[in-house]
């Protein structure tokens, strides 16, 4: 069985190695693959170092795509899928492993016959060099169907290590990840600070508390239970556990790249608007991060 992967960042490469270890054929779709059609990836996990040979191809290759893992930035989803749309089989399996929400529904609408899955992970990895991958946390990966009720994981995923956790209600899992991202990422981008500062600085913590309170007002109206404890407790726990990390949104701002704010805080605010719920703190933060992205 073969998996194609759109999005050759840290997560795309990490799951490429996991699929290879599970006995799957894997090919990454790159903007400019090298002429040889493959590249070597040196993976460091703890003290173990392993080299993988990964095949690569361009979006315009002729090979049909039956199974596609999408790990691009949320805002790149539509363009990335459009680049390979003519290669997708009618009943292709599409797994979206990304931050944010909103893009899943768009993919469903544009590919109604596809088998669409959502996934979230707490795995951590980064790439010090293009041919290097450092795995810092194995994490947990939750995956569930968007388009059909099925208890069968996508082909090959049962053999992944660590084993993915199947959830029938992937929407709640996505909302949990989204809520944490809303509480942490935009604030770190605004204040240009590591995650831990949101807990250490009383003013930043109060802002995070206000964001969490508003998000819980929305999720309660949607009938979604995020966690057994208050969202602020979970957000603070994550911020402390990742105290030295710079969020992806902060890194995007620092490097002058687009952010995923529209699919994180923007999605939350749009859902609230549809219900007539005011989220003043989240809306203000959305405007502030938009302004940062434009500078």
What is the pLDDT at residue 161? 94
Instruction: For residue range 123-143, list pLDDT tens digits in order.
Output: 988 889 989 999 988 889 999
- Residues 140-167 have a mean pLDDT of 90
Q: Inter-axis angle of helices 202-222 and 265-275, to 10 degrees?
A: 50
What is the pLDDT at residue 295? 64
The yes-or-no answer on residue 283 being catalytic is no
Cβ contact 9:80 at 8 Å: no
Residue 59 has pLDDT above 70, yes or no: yes
Buried b (16+ CB within 10 A) or exposed e, 179-191: bbbbbbbbbbbbe
Instruction: For residue range 193-213, list pLDDT tens digits in order.
Output: 999 999 999 999 999 999 999
What is the pLDDT at residue 182? 98
- Residues 140-158 have a mean pLDDT of 88
Buried b (16+ CB within 10 A) or exposed e, 127-146: eeeeeebbbeebeebbbbbb
Instruction: For residue range 107-116, list pLDDT tens digits in order.
Output: 999 999 999 9
Residue 176 has pLDDT above 70, yes or no: yes
- Residues 6-31 have a mean pLDDT of 95
Rounded to the nearest integer, the mean pLDDT of the chain is: 94
Map tokens 């957000």 to a residue: 235
Instruction: For residue range 218-257, list pLDDT tens digits in order.
Output: 999 999 999 999 999 999 999 999 898 889 999 999 999 9
What is the pLDDT at residue 148? 72
| Nearest CA among 286, 191, 168 for reference residue 239 | 191
Q: What is the pairing mode between strands 165-166 and 141-145?
A: parallel
Q: What does pTM read for this prediction?
A: 0.93
Instruction: For residue range 26-35, list pLDDT tens digits in order.
Output: 999 998 887 7
Which domains, ranges and CATH numbers included, belong to the chain?
A: 2-168 (3.40.50.720), 172-294 (1.10.1040.10)
Mapping DSSP to helix (H, G, I), strand (E, B) and coil, where does residue 148 land? coil
As a whole number of angstroms, the distance between CA 87 and CA 93 comes to: 13
Inter-CA distances, 76 with 72, 170, 197, Å: 6, 21, 30
Q: Which of these ranges, 68-72, 152-156, 221-225, has the smallest mean pLDDT?
A: 152-156
As a whole number of angstroms, the distance between CA 278 and CA 183 comes to: 17
What is the pLDDT at residue 233? 98
| Nearest CA among 58, 57, 34, 39 for reference residue 131 | 39
Out of 2, 47, 73, 177, pick the active-site residue.
Answer: 177
Structure letter (DSSP) for residue 161: S
Inter-CA distances, 59 with 31, 96, 213, 220, Å: 7, 18, 43, 42
Name, in order, each residue with C-beta under 8 angstroms of 97's C-beta and a sequence gap of 6 or more: 11, 15, 69, 70, 71, 119, 120, 121, 141
Instruction: For residue range 71-101, list pLDDT tens digits in order.
Output: 999 999 999 999 999 999 999 999 999 999 9
Cβ contact 218:181 at 8 Å: no
CA angle 223, 140, 241 (to 5 degrees): 90
Print the SS3 string covering 211-261. Answer: HHHHHHHHHHHHCCCCCCCCHHHHHHHHHHHCCCCCCHHHHHHHCCCCCCH
């Amino acid at each position: 069985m073969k998996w194609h992967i759109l999005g050759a960042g840290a997560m795309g490469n990490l799951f490429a190695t996991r699929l290879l270890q599970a006995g799957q054929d894997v090919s990454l779709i790159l903007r400019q693959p090298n002429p040889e059609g493959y590249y070597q990836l040196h993976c460091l996990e703890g003290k173990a170092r392993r080299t993988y040979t990964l095949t690569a191809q361009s979006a315009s290759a002729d090979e049909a795509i039956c199974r596609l893992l999408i790990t691009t930035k949320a805002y790149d989803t539509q363009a990335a899928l459009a680049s390979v749309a003519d290669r997708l089989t009618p009943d292709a399996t599409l797994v979206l492993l990304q931050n944010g929400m909103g893009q899943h529904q768009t993919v469903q609408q544009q590919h109604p016959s596809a088998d669409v899955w959502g996934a979230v992970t707490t795995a951590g990895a980064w790439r010090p060099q293009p041919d290097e991958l450092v795995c810092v946390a194995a994490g947990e990966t939750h995956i569930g169907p968007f388009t059909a009720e099925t208890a069968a994981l996508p082909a090959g995923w049962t053999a992944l290590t660590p084993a993915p956790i199947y959830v029938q209600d992937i929407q709640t899992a996505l909302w949990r990840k989204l809520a944490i991202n809303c509480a942490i990422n935009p604030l770190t981008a605004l204040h240009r600070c590591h995650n831990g500062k949101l807990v250490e600085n009383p003013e930043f913590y109060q802002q995070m508390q206000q964001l969490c309170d508003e998000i819980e007002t929305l999720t309660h109206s949607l009938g979604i239970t995020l966690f057994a404890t208050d969202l602020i407790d979970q957000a603070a726990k994550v911020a402390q556990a990742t105290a030295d990390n710079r969020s992806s949104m902060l890194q995007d701002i620092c490097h002058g790249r687009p952010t995923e704010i529209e699919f994180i805080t923007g999605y939350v605010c749009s859902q609230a608007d549809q219900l007539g719920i005011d989220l003043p703190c989240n809306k203000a933060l959305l405007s502030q991060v938009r302004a940062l992205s434009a500078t």
